[in-house]
Structure 1
């Protein structure tokens, strides 16, 4: 058994028994790790508090890791990069729950990937510090595909269709799984931009919904076992106001 210290981002938690949690954290040092946190829901004096394990919270943890063990254990946790708005603003709360669910299905690697960790850390801090965030989730998901290995090949971006399974642009618009027309025009607006410039892009409610459903389908085609997010309808309801 080794005692380790690492930064970590909370992906999801589920209740275990009456007083414990199983938390899935994306860590800077070890990739995705599941932890059993015993008694956290009843303890009021311990070093671990349930509030630390809200989705996307950024932590420093001290943990016990044992090889070939499915559930590791956390000894200490400290919130870092404390959010000011992410868990208080109703719109951002909906984005957080949706993105946490998407990441829970998409990120499976149990090994270090510091570029991915750095991307998540900076992206969520950007979300916390900005108000115009209606397109954030679209660019976040598109950029996430860079780290998962299926970012669109833009070498022929001038073509009029995008083949979702192949991840390439094409002129063969009649083929199955090819996105074309208005949808592809809007999709191209997302390519090559960063979060600071996304505020200048205007999508209608329908365009935003169509793009999001396209991106979800893209994930489904490239990730085995990926499940359609249950929280999608909540997010769409928030952004349709």
Structure 2
């Protein structure tokens, strides 16, 4: 029996500045039930506070404790390991790492840096990793969708540094199993009681399945025809978050 929903943000609740039709009502319906809600995202262009404000402005009601972001998880990991990061990230989230010592870096953090993905900065990341710095990825997504276009995400750039420096990144964020398990731990539930809803067949769906969760792919956001056939693991497919929530609620009523 389903007892919680893990929900991706971009592409599932909204696209750019536009709410997915029916998404606000679907979240209200889910919240009125006995389901626990967690919102899990690799979004690395906005701070956690900015995301909460954005979502509230779009009409979504959620609490800070329900929002799990990859940048916050990376910060916690760096702090725990006492690492000094060279941050190749979007300028909007630099404040998330401002309290960490960054002189003489022994770690490289790569997120969706947008225009900061220039040769000089990528080369600096390569040189540090070649000298032994730990490579850390804020997620490992291939691409995302913004204003109707598919755009490169951080994954291809992380892959380039891995290839050049003969290293392997530690991924904190989807599809990392540990990221899903961190959110799971906050619910007190077992993995088979949770349905992850996302638009990324690899980061959301395959990642959740590898963590033991159930998973449902929505045909919104970055979804492209045929995505549901790109992995062999069993999963659900929905037209949108509206159908996914209805499925979860019907599962509750049938048990």
Relative to the length of structure 2, the TM-score reads: 0.24
User: Which structure is higher in RCO with an 8 Å CA cutoff and minimum separation 6?
Assistant: 2
Choose 1 or 2 for highest CA Rg: 1
